Amino acid sequence: MHTLSAFVRKEFHHILRDRWTLIILLVTPIIMLVLIGFAMTTEVKGTTFMVVAPERDVSTSELVQILSQSVYFTFAGYLPDEQAIDSALRQGMAGLIVVFPSHFASDRTNTGTSSVAVITDGSDPNTAKTLTNYASAIMLGWAQKQNTTIQNTLSIGIETRLLYNPAMKGAYNFVPGVLGMILLLICAMMTSISIAREKESGTMEILLSSPMQPVVIILAKTIPYFFLSCLNLVTSLAMSMTVLGVPVRGSWVALICVSLLYIFVGLLLGVMISTIANSQLVALLVSGMGLMLPVMLLSGMMFPIESMPFPLRLISHIIPARWYVSAMRKVMIKGLGFGSILTELTVLACMSAVLLVISLKKFKPRLE
């Protein structure tokens, strides 16, 4: 106990004396959350659209007006004919083109049906998909209103509702993901670099020739950074709730439990990395770059795991972030409690046990 407390105190001295590193560690999560938060949004706002309307009448101009009233679209003018569509898209004058047929209004009154073409730039399929979804939703809404108020004919419409995220806010999707990435990366970096630094400066040799047990060294290296990571968790959550407007709908206890467990996994991952990294630079590269890609691609923060090919889906199971992101989505967005994240909690607990055992085994009480 003497040994552990003496060593933990020493670690706190290191952290508090190295002001700049401390500031970087505390500010990085905030910057990353805000940067990625605003850059990674899938919401499309203020896209310019143009219209081809051979016969302009009340209904076409009403539709144009309704589209431009939404936050997603801005009206950029009429195109003379369909030949102009291609160049308008190519030159970036419009992100979306609405094409009315020649007898739009009369078709509607005579046959009851009429169609509108929506053309988008498919070189960015995600955005194109979102744009067409928005535009058709708006126009369908208009058509339904027409049917009920003016013609009063019975028609069956399909109403889609997005539960938990009715406003389709991008932040709801990425905040749990970014939290998962930031916490894992920073935790792993902190412990791996701090152990690698002891190897570099030669103090590790002294520690190894002392009667200190490896488990004490590992614990003493994780405890101070555990506190630091909790601070990071608090600031990140505060940021997502205020600036990014993502609420915590579910149980706070569940959220804190899974986060603390996840932080512990991250710190132990750093300890494991440090058993192979002999310099601070290598530790930084492995824990920063080495972890970033798998976490970004395979945790489900950017791409849905369900749509990945089987081998990748398999690999994603060993990415701790996958489980954390999924638990955080359930708790923060869906508003669920403890019972719903038992799987995630169990997996993370197993991971930390495995990491601890590997670190202890690989943490050589001798040199080389």
Partner 1 sequence: MNAIIASNLTKKFGSFTAVDHISFDVSEGEIFGFLGANGAGKTTAMRMLTGLLKPTEGKALVAGFDIKKQSEKIKANIGYMSQRFALYGDLTISENIRLFGGIYGMDAKLIAEKRDRLLDELHLKEEKDSLVSRLPLGWKQKLAFSVSIFHEPKIVFLDEPTGGVDPAARRRFWEMIYAASEQGITVFVTTHYMDEAEYCNRVSIMVDGRIEALDSPHALKTRYAASSMDEVFQMIARKATRTAD
**Where do contacts with partner 1 occur on this chain (CB under 8 A)?**
2-3, 5-7, 9-10, 13-14, 17-18, 201-203, 205-212, 365-368
User: Per residue in 108-132, is it b (16+ CB within 10 Å) or e — as a string?
Assistant: beeeeebebebbbbeeeeebbebbe
Beta carbons within 10 angstroms of residue 43's beta carbon = 13
Smallest gap from residue 363 Cβ to partner 1 (A): 14
CB of 337 to partner 1, least distance (A): 43
Using alpha carbons, select from 168, 269, 278, 197 the residue that is nearest to residue 21.
197
CB nearer to partner 1: pick between 70 and 213: 213
Choose between 10 and 145: whose C-beta lies nearer to partner 1: 10
Order of all β-strands in the sheet with 73-79: 73-79, 47-52, 96-99, 117-120
Containing 96, the helix (H) or strand (E) segment is: strand 96-99
Closest approach of Cβ 271 to partner 1, in Å? 19
- State the nearest-atom distance from the C-beta of 177 to partner 1, in Å: 36
H or E element at residue 97: strand 96-99
Q: How far is the CB of 211 from partner 1 (least distance, A)?
A: 4
Shorter beta-carbon distance to partner 1: residue 8 or 341:
8
Closer residue to partner 1, CB minimum distance, 173 or 274: 274
Is the CB of 18 or the CB of 124 nearer to partner 1? 18
Cβ distance 192 to 221 under 8 Å?
A: no
CB of 252 to partner 1, least distance (A): 37
Q: Which is nearer to partner 1, 211 or 339 (CB)?
A: 211
